Structure formats: structure tokens, C-alpha cells
Structure 1
Amino acid sequence: MVNPLRPDVVRLYKNLLYLGREYPKGADYFRDRLRAAFAKNRSVQDPEQIRQMIARGEYVARELEALYHLRKYRALKKRYYED
């Protein structure tokens, strides 16, 4: 039986994998941690629990985006303004 939430999980995984390319510790480090996190929860079947995990993953994605935007802002600020 195919889980109806599978496309959402795959979309989240691909999005996080894409965001991990700019991770400060490196893309390989991020990819390994991401794989481990998804593999650890592979056996979960409860749809409500899967939705909660998807929500947590989307939160992490938003936090990563905020981190990257802040890093770019700081780089631009450092380039154009003296401390």
C-alpha cells in the first residue's frame, strides 16, 4: 500500500537536499545527516505522526533559508559599511 503522504515527504527531502548545498559544514555533511534522519523514521506509518514530521522538516527548511539570507546580508553589509 502506498502512503498518500509520500509525495510530500519526497518533496521535503528534495527541498532540504537542495538547501543543504550551501550548508556551512559542507553539502556532504548535510546530506549524510539528512539521509540518517529520513532513514530513522522510515518505518513510521501513522499519517498524523508523518504530518508532524513534515511540519518539523518544513520548519527546518525555513530556518535554513533564514540562515542563508542572514549570511548574505552580513556579507553585503561588511562589503559596503565599515564597523
Structure 2
Amino acid sequence: MDPRVRDLYKRIITVGRDYPTGLSHVREKAKREFFKRANLHDGLEINRAINYGRHMVREMTGIIQFKKYRALKQRYEDES
């Protein structure tokens, strides 16, 4: 296994801990996507898949930050 792929999976699991739908949902979807692309052998295709995975990690991080922002905003609006 390519070390970049292993690192990507670790990143997904780490980010998935704070994801709104939960870690089990994120892990299930990540495994499905990784197994779908398990037969890639071309270096260019592997790079594209890794870049797509990194993009999804950034999207997940954005959703988490938005969720935290909304929670903070809601807490402070209730107090005033």
C-alpha cells in the first residue's frame, strides 16, 4: 500500500471524529470508496484519487467548522 493512501485514510478517520454524522458513518463511506479504487495501478490515477480524497478532507473540515460556528452563534444569541 502506498504510504500516501494510508496517511489519507488516517486523516479521514481523524477528521471524522468531529463530523456531524459520526465516526462510524465516515468510516463506512471511506472504506467503500477505498475498496472501489483498490484496483488502481497507474501512478496518475492514484494521484488523482489521493487528491480527490484530500479535497474531501478539506470539505469535511469546512463542514465541521461551520457546525461549530453555528453552535457558538446560537449560544451567544440566546444570551443577549
Instruction: Give the counterpart letter for 1:19 in structure 2.
Output: V
Q: What percentage of aligned pairs have identical amino acids?
A: 35
Q: Which runs of 4+ in 1 moved over 3 A?
A: none
Aligned residue for 2:39, secondary structure, equals coil
Distance in 2, matches of 1:25 and 1:68, equals 10
For structure 1, list consecutive stretches of 5 or more residues without a partner in the other structure.
none
**Structure-1 separation of matches of 2:26 and 2:66:** 19
* Residue 16 in structure 1 maps to residue 4 in structure 2: no
Q: How much has 1:24 moved relative to structure 2? A: 2.0
Q: CA deviation at 1:7?
A: 0.9
Aligned-partner Cα distance in 2 for 1:16–1:73: 21
* Counterpart residue number, 1:39: 35
TM-score of the two chains, using structure 1 as the length reference: 0.86
- Distance (Å, rounded) in 2 between the aligned partners of 1:19 and 1:35: 15
Aligned residues: 78
Q: Does 1:60 align with 2:74?
A: no
In angstroms, what is the RMSD of aligned CA positions? 1.3
Uncovered stretches (5+) of structure 2, i.e. residues with no partner = none
